[in-house]
């Protein structure tokens, strides 16, 4: 099981890094978060009974780590939502609007998590519920409240 887990973790490290980075927008912090999650995964390997559930199981560990790190960072004023500490590199030919991406970062932490998992990582709402531990209806109501809020933020920016 350990080999299987190690392989899974290393193979998907880039995905995990992007996910962690999206919370804090800080390179060093994001690397720490992924690293801590890896160590926790190995230490808690006995809680993984079904290898098929490895992905959601690990995202649960990673998400907890990210939410904790984000809270700590906010407490210590390391993260200001409007301030991207580390520039995101984007292809030159590629210029999507940053507006909505930035707007998402103004939502409550839990709602951001739902949007990251559902829209960026493309998990179904059911899987999001398994990863976050919120029940499905909570996931849905937070998501739709969040999307409504996004609309308002984007509109205000335009005006």
Partner 1 sequence: MRDLKDAKDIYDHIVVPEELDHRLREALENTPTPQKKTANVVKFSRWAATAAAALFLCFTVGLNTSESFAMEMSELPIIGTVAKVLTVRSYETTTDNTTTTVEVPEVQVEEAAAKEVQNAITDINTQIQTLVDEFTAQKYAEIDEYKEAFLETGGTEEEWAERSIDINVNYEVKHQSETTLSLLVDAWISWFNFQEERHFYNIDLVTGKELTLVDLLGEDAYEYAADQVYAQMQERIAEDPEGLIYWGINDSTDGIDGFDFIGVSEETPFYINSAGNVVISYNKYDAGPGYMGVQEFEIPAR
53, 71, 98, 133: which one contacts partner 1 (CB under 8 A)?
A: 98
Start-end of H helices in the chain = 2-11, 13-24, 27-43, 54-75, 99-104, 109-115, 125-132, 136-158
Residue number, 14 or 159, with CB nearest to partner 1:
14
Is the Cβ–Cβ distance between 33 and 65 less than 8 Å? yes
Residue number, 75 or 89, with CB nearest to partner 1:
89
Is the Cβ–Cβ distance between 22 and 120 less than 8 Å? yes
Binding segment toward partner 1, per CB under 8 A, in 54-62, 68-76, 89-97, 106-114: 89-97
72, 133, 136, 157: which one contacts partner 1 (CB under 8 A)?
A: 136
Binding segment toward partner 1, per CB under 8 A, in 56-64, 65-73, 75-83, 122-130: 122-130
Residue number, 2 or 75, with CB nearest to partner 1:
2
Which of 8, 2, 11, 127 has the alpha carbon at shortest distance from 63?
A: 127
Task: Verify binding: residue 93, partner 1, rule CB under 8 A.
Answer: yes
Residue number, 69 or 150, with CB nearest to partner 1:
150
Task: Verify binding: residue 35, partner 1, rule CB under 8 A.
Answer: yes
Q: How many residues does the chain have?
A: 159
Residues 140-159, one symbol each (x = binds partner 1 by CB under 8 A, - = not), give x---x--xx-xx--x-----
Which of 65, 77, 75, 76 has the alpha carbon at shortest distance from 21?
A: 65
Footprint (CB under 8 A) of partner 1, residues 11-30: 13-14, 17-18, 21-22, 27
Q: If 0-12 CB within 10 Å is exposed, 13-18 middle and 19+ buried, where does residue 153 land?
A: middle
Any idea which residue has 């531990």 for tokens? 133
């Amino acid at each position: 099981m350990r080999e299987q887990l190690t392989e899974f973790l290393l193979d998907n490290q880039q995905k995990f890094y992007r996910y962690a980075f999206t919370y804090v927008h800080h390179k060093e912090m994001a690397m720490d978060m992924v690293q801590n999650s890896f160590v926790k995964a190995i230490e808690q390997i006995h809680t993984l009974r079904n290898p098929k559930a490895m992905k959601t199981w690990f995202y649960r560990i990673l998400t907890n780590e990210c939410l904790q790190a984000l809270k700590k960072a906010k407490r210590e004023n390391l993260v200001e939502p409007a301030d991207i500490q580390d520039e995101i590199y984007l292809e030159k030919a590629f210029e999507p609007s940053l507006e909505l991406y930035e707007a998402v970062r103004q939502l409550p932490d839990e709602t951001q998590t739902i949007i990251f998992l559902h829209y960026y990582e493309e998990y179904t709402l059911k899987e999001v519920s398994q990863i976050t531990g919120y029940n499905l209806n909570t996931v849905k109501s937070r998501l739709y409240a969040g999307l409504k809020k996004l609309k308002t933020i984007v509109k205000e920016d335009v005006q």
